[in-house]
Chain A
Amino acid sequence: MREDYLILNDLVKIFGGAKESVVAVDHVSLQVREGELVTLLGPSGCGKTTTLRMIAGFEFPTSGDIYLDGERMNNVPPNRRPTTMVFQNYALFPHMSVSQNIEYGLKIHRVAGRQIKERVEEVMRLVGLKGMGSRSPAKLSGGQQQRVSLARSLIMEPKVLLLDEPLSNLDAKLRESTRIEIRKLQRRVGITSVYVTHDQEEAMTLSDRVMIMHEGRIQQIGTPSEIYAHPANRFVADFIGKANFLDARIESIDSPTSATVDMYGTKLKVSEVTESLAEGMKVVVVVRPESIALEPKTRKGLTGVIQESVYLGSEIVYEVQLQDKLITVKVPNPREHTLFKTDQEVAVLLKEKSLHILPAEEPSG
């Protein structure tokens, strides 16, 4: 497995002319391992699709380089690149049947007729389209069209498979099942993939690693669990899952791996310390809603007032006024817990292992 199968080196893309120009991609660097699935995740307009299109060759980087399997791709036109793309709207050829769509690329590359037939059948079986070859794409459901698009790309056995929000046009249920299928397929074929999405749940389920982008810049690259547990900044913490941001101050650095913070007069131990922290420093503590427990009010510790509670069956979500902050708390399995009423005072317990600390002067996204 090569670590540097696909390299994006300091990519910049600026759109527009002299009067108004937009920096769509701002110094993005990334290395993708062979066989890895990396997701480019971010809100719309963050530059993820532009990055993908530069890999495919539809956009030229303003500066920076793209290497694929050791070869510089910058000046290779899209039709000569060993990449194929699954488009957001599938982009199926409306005047061709399903199998004509799938075999299109092989025909362009003048693969022998018999071999085409075999490979089409194989890939159609792989994506579960067996027996639909003669249909017109317009007659297929959204999910089936999506499979045709995937099959059309996979059959080329590209070095990198590019997927541009391939699930965004499917309804919620189908989206969930399809993304698991894509994941299984990608693992089985072992194909290096770059996947663009704005759906963080999709990114979490699918990816080996996630690259979070915002306003053209990389915010963080890491495995799903890394970015969830250790978000690099406030934007990432907020974008991935729900997060409460609580102001605090470093009371003392107790050891290389632990510190005590002061939050509204309560001392909390945190087991995540970086070198940049110093005593007396103002920080923001990131706490996930599921990392907070509520208990009947006691003398000590943080106290909050229940503002709202929403019962969802598998969990109950509280909005709790904690001093000047309104925080969200998720309590799983409500039947096992005491339920609180609106305006009730409760003790707010932060689970110390799940606390994550960010510097306070964090520029918010």
Chain B
Amino acid sequence: MKVSTRRTREVIASMRIIWKEPLLLVAILAIFYFLILFVAFPIFQVFRYSLVIDKRFDPSNYAAVFSARYYYQPFLNSILLGTITATTGTIMGFGFAYALTRTALPLKGFFRQAITFPIISPPFVVALSAILLFGRAGSLAPILQRIIGEYSIYGLGGLVFVETIAYGPTAFLVLYGVLQAIDPALEEASMDLGASRATVFTTVTLPLAVPGIASAWLLVFIQSMADFGNPMIISGDFRVLSVQAFLQITGMYDLSRGATLAVLLFIPTTVAFFLQKYWVSRKSYVTVTGKPTAATIKRLEWYIKMPVYTLCIVFTAMVFLLYGTIIYGSFQKLWGVDRTLTLNNYVQMFRVGKDYIIDSLSLSTLATPLTGLLGMFIAFLVIRKRFIGRGVMEFTSMLTFAVPGTVVGIGYILAFNQRSALFPFILTGTAWIIVLLLIFRNMPVGIRSGIAALQQIDPAIEEASTDLGADSSTTFRRVTLPMIAPAFFSGLAFGFVKAMTAISAVIFVVSGKWNLITVAILGFVDNSQYAPAAAMSLLLIVIVMISLGIIQLVVNRIGRGVRTTTIIG
């Protein structure tokens, strides 16, 4: 029998089964509609606006961008920034991961908490703190000046510094998983055959970790390229794409030029994402199962311990310094000028920002469960069901994860500020556009935790349910969902954190009526009101930590017997 006809017949057979479950069929079609409308369509609109002027195809935007240094410099800058940050972040992450998996570093739990802390805080908090410490009126500026001479925290150097702190943890999490999954027996075998510790490292550990390192590098590259909050605060004259695209649209009202810059941002990050997902991860020697192999801890030579421990301690101290400064700064009357402690900043913050806080909380609370459910359901369909377009569904749903927030934000205003054949409502200015953006932007988190959880569950358990007469929706409700509940709630927790701390995309869709806490902080910083900005950042961090704590409690209560997945970006 010809392969093609066989395949067609099998697909038809599986579709026929789905056809017998109308609920499942409707759900699949609905999800496709949502994915097209809220993921693909906005991105399509960005491309369309960059290429179509006055309803005609016209590449003049691109010609203009590449002829004027004012426009192509940000592109080069973003690539440069991404490359340097990815490198420093990966080195940092690797050092930390090595220390935590392969050495006898004391207080491992503490170090782990410390390094992953920047992940749950809004990313630009690091930039804010860096200004308080090392800015023109920074408290440590004179000391630093004596060491390295005249400098400015605004620019490439400052950006690399803050982004390394903010995104190095991502590299750490990837590499921690990879190093943990490398069987220590391999290293023992190498040593047993006569290799020194350094030779073990260079001939076994490092080569095995190379795909992981490449993965980590690409992920940090993407995050750095897509970063909006930090460069907005600290980039100075060093212009990067995300900020320039924002300024084109909100400052110059030039939608097509803004869209063009967004496309320039879209291309390298998306390429990096798909390199990471489909090429690098395929080359991996180790599969990260989440099942830690007990790494045997051996006595290490000083020349390994010294740099690794130093790195851990310095970085951890830096995290404490930066976040401590936020706390301290939030109580000072006027940073760098008047050090009297006061609660005025909090009063001012609540007076100005009350609505922002309420909006942020309510919109995130609304978006989070929807994000989680949708993510889990898509994960379930993609992993467990066979239907035409399954690959397309997975691809599309991961797309928002790959695409920088700036691009998505611009896409949303271009897609929903008018009626279209796909969607007969205008969403701009409503709360819905924010909620929908949060849902579809954070959905990959839900999908990924869902996929991870499902892969740990023996498919036979779901088959048993089907075998006993349950249809897909009953099986999902009564068997799958309860088993993946811990992962579901972990996904929720992270979705909530992301929703609360989001900035790069939502800044385009906020309005006078509906606004968000992160936008308010950026507003304070813009007015050089650093102390209220610090107070509000601290409040945001506290809110996030409390909600994480609550969700952790829930997970612990329902998680009996079922493995919890760690909260990972």
On whether A75 and B17 interact (CB within 8 A), knowing A83-B467, A105-B469, the answer reads yes
Contacting pair B468 A77 (CB below 8 A)? no
The CA-CA distance from A89 to B458 in the complex, in Å, is 9
On whether A156 and B461 interact (CB within 8 A), knowing A21-B3, A75-B16, A94-B562, the answer reads no
The CA-CA distance from A268 to B296 in the complex, in Å, is 65
B60 at interface, CB cutoff 8 A: no
Chain B residues with CB below 8 A from A156, complex form: 468-469
The CA-CA distance from A285 to B466 in the complex, in Å, is 49
Q: A54-62, A315-323, A324-332, A336-344: which one contacts chain B? A: A54-62
On whether A77 and B17 interact (CB within 8 A), knowing A63-B1, A87-B460, A93-B461, the answer reads yes
Q: Which of A100-153 contact B (CB under 8 A)?
A: 104-105, 108-109, 136, 138, 149, 152-153
Contacting pair B17 A136 (CB below 8 A)? no
B58 at interface, CB cutoff 8 A: no
On whether A78 and B467 interact (CB within 8 A), knowing A18-B4, A89-B460, A91-B458, the answer reads yes
Contacting pair B467 A62 (CB below 8 A)? no
Chain A residues with CB below 8 A from B16, complex form: 75
Contacting pair A91 B6 (CB below 8 A)? no
A105 (CB) vs chain B CBs: closest residue: B468
Q: Which of B128-160 contact A (CB under 8 A)?
A: none
Contacting pair B463 A87 (CB below 8 A)? yes
Chain A residues with CB below 8 A from B464, complex form: 85, 87, 91-93, 149, 152
The CA-CA distance from A77 to B461 in the complex, in Å, is 17
On whether A152 and B468 interact (CB within 8 A), knowing A87-B463, A88-B460, the answer reads yes
Q: How far is the CB of A341 from chain B (nearest CB, A)?
A: 44
The CA-CA distance from A108 to B474 in the complex, in Å, is 8
Chain B residues with CB below 8 A from A136, complex form: 561
Chain A residues with CB below 8 A from B339, complex form: none
Q: How far is the CB of A139 from chain B (nearest CB, A)?
A: 9
Contacting pair A104 B465 (CB below 8 A)? yes
Contacting pair B6 A75 (CB below 8 A)? no
Chain A residues with CB below 8 A from B1, complex form: 14, 62-63
A363 at interface, CB cutoff 8 A: no
Contacting pair A79 B469 (CB below 8 A)? yes
Chain A residues with CB below 8 A from B463, complex form: 56, 58, 78, 85, 87, 91
Contacting pair A95 B483 (CB below 8 A)? yes
Chain B residues with CB below 8 A from A21, complex form: 3
Q: Which of B446-481 contact A (CB under 8 A)?
A: 458, 460-461, 463-471, 474, 478-479
Q: How far is the CB of B14 from chain A (nearest CB, A)?
A: 7
A207 at interface, CB cutoff 8 A: no
B7 (CB) vs chain A CBs: closest residue: A17
Among the listed B13, B460, B461, B479, which residue makes an inter-chain contact with A60, where contact means beta carbons less than 8 Å apart?
A: B13
Chain A residues with CB below 8 A from B20, complex form: 77, 80
A51 at interface, CB cutoff 8 A: no
Q: How far is the CB of B17 from chain A (nearest CB, A)?
A: 5
Contacting pair A18 B468 (CB below 8 A)? no
Chain B residues with CB below 8 A from A153, complex form: 467-468
13 contacts between A and B (CB under 8 A): A17-B3, A56-B463, A58-B467, A60-B14, A78-B467, A81-B467, A84-B468, A87-B460, A93-B461, A93-B464, A104-B478, A109-B469, A156-B468
Chain A residues with CB below 8 A from B479, complex form: 93
Chain B residues with CB below 8 A from A75, complex form: 13, 16-17
The CA-CA distance from A332 to B385 in the complex, in Å, is 55
The CA-CA distance from A159 to B467 in the complex, in Å, is 13
B10 at interface, CB cutoff 8 A: yes
Max chain A C-beta neighbours (<10 A), residue from B460, B461, B464: B464
Known: A57-B467, A78-B467. 13 other contacts (CB 8 A): A17-B3, A74-B13, A77-B21, A79-B467, A87-B460, A87-B463, A89-B460, A93-B479, A94-B561, A95-B483, A108-B474, A152-B464, A152-B468
The CA-CA distance from A357 to B192 in the complex, in Å, is 55
Interface string of B10-38 (1 = CB under 8 A from A): 10011011001100000000000000000
The CA-CA distance from A104 to B464 in the complex, in Å, is 10
Q: How far is the CB of A170 from chain B (nearest CB, A)?
A: 17
Among the listed B6, B14, B482, B562, which residue makes an inter-chain contact with A62, where contact means beta carbons less than 8 Å apart?
A: B6
Q: Could you tell me the dominant secondary structure of chain B's interface residues?
A: helix
Contacting pair A93 B465 (CB below 8 A)? yes
Q: How far is the CB of A216 from chain B (nearest CB, A)?
A: 15
What's the interface size class on A, roughly? Answer: 35 or more
B470 (CB) vs chain A CBs: closest residue: A108
The CA-CA distance from A57 to B562 in the complex, in Å, is 28
B9 at interface, CB cutoff 8 A: yes
Chain A residues with CB below 8 A from B461, complex form: 91-94
The CA-CA distance from A56 to B468 in the complex, in Å, is 10
Chain A residues with CB below 8 A from B9, complex form: 62
The CA-CA distance from A57 to B474 in the complex, in Å, is 18
Max chain B C-beta neighbours (<10 A), residue from A17, A74, A85: A85
The CA-CA distance from A138 to B560 in the complex, in Å, is 10
Q: How far is the CB of A106 from chain B (nearest CB, A)?
A: 9
Chain B residues with CB below 8 A from A84, complex form: 467-468
Contacting pair A95 B561 (CB below 8 A)? yes
Chain A residues with CB below 8 A from B483, complex form: 93-95
Contacting pair A91 B460 (CB below 8 A)? yes
The CA-CA distance from A93 to B480 in the complex, in Å, is 9
Among the listed B13, B14, B469, which residue makes an inter-chain contact with A108, where contact means beta carbons less than 8 Å apart?
A: B469
Chain B residues with CB below 8 A from A74, complex form: 13
Chain B residues with CB below 8 A from A91, complex form: 458, 460-461, 463-464
The CA-CA distance from A21 to B5 in the complex, in Å, is 14
The CA-CA distance from A139 to B10 in the complex, in Å, is 41
The CA-CA distance from A94 to B465 in the complex, in Å, is 12
Contacting pair A60 B10 (CB below 8 A)? yes
Contacting pair B458 A62 (CB below 8 A)? no
Contacting pair B467 A56 (CB below 8 A)? yes
Chain A residues with CB below 8 A from B469, complex form: 79-80, 105, 108-109, 156
Contacting pair B562 A79 (CB below 8 A)? no
Chain A residues with CB below 8 A from B470, complex form: 79, 104-105, 108
Interface string of B476-496 (1 = CB under 8 A from A): 001100110000000000000
B463 (CB) vs chain A CBs: closest residue: A58
Chain B residues with CB below 8 A from A152, complex form: 464, 468
Q: How far is the CB of A88 from chain B (nearest CB, A)?
A: 7
Chain A residues with CB below 8 A from B460, complex form: 87-89, 91
B3 (CB) vs chain A CBs: closest residue: A18
4 closest A-B pairs by beta carbon, nearest first, are A105-B468, A91-B460, A91-B464, A60-B13
Q: How far is the CB of B483 from chain A (nearest CB, A)?
A: 6
The CA-CA distance from A152 to B561 in the complex, in Å, is 21
The CA-CA distance from A104 to B475 in the complex, in Å, is 11
Max chain B C-beta neighbours (<10 A), residue from A79, A81, A92: A79
Chain B residues with CB below 8 A from A17, complex form: 3, 7
Contacting pair B562 A95 (CB below 8 A)? yes
The CA-CA distance from A95 to B483 in the complex, in Å, is 7
Interface string of A144-187 (1 = CB under 8 A from B): 00000100110010000000000000000000000000000000
Contacting pair B561 A79 (CB below 8 A)? no
Chain B residues with CB below 8 A from A63, complex form: 1
Q: How far is the CB of B461 from chain A (nearest CB, A)?
A: 4
The CA-CA distance from A149 to B461 in the complex, in Å, is 11
Max chain B C-beta neighbours (<10 A), residue from A83, A95, A105, A156: A95
